[in-house]
Homo-oligomer: A and B are copies of this chain.
Amino acid sequence: MELLLGKPVADHISEQLIKEVEGFNNKPKLAIVRLGENPNDMAYERGAKSRCEKIGIDVDVHEFSSDISQEELIDMLRDLNNDEKVNGILVFRPLPKHIDEDIIKHEVRYDKDVDCFNPINFGKLYEGDSKGFVPCTAVAVMEILKYYDIDAMGKNVAIIGASNVIGKPVSFLLLNKRATITVCHSKTKNTSQITSNSDIIVSACGVAKMVNESYVSEGAIVIDVGINVDENGKLCGDVDFENVKDIASMITPVPRGVGSVTTSILASHVVKAYKMHNNC
The verdict on A156 contacting chain B, using a C-beta distance below 8 Å, is yes
On whether the beta carbons of B185 and A182 are closer than 8 Å, the reply is: no
Binary CB contact string for chain A from 111 to 124 against chain B (1 if under 8 A, 0 otherwise)? 00000001111111
Chain B residues positioned under 8 Å from A156 (CB to CB): 189-190
Which chain B residues border A194 with CB–CB below 8 Å? 180
Chain A interface size, under 10 / 10 to 19 / 20 to 34 / 35 or more:
20 to 34
Q: How far is the CA of A175 from the CA of B170 in the complex (A)?
A: 14
Question: Is residue A162 contacting chain B, with contact meaning CB distance below 8 A?
Answer: yes
Q: Which residues in B have their C-beta under 8 angstroms from that of A154?
A: 187-189
Copies of this chain held together in the complex? 2
A: residues with CB less than 8 A from B are 102, 118-127, 129, 153-154, 156, 162, 164, 168, 175, 178-190, 194
Contacts of A102 in B (CB 8 A): 129
B183–A180 contact, CB under 8 A? yes
The chain B residue sitting closest to A152, CB to CB, is B187
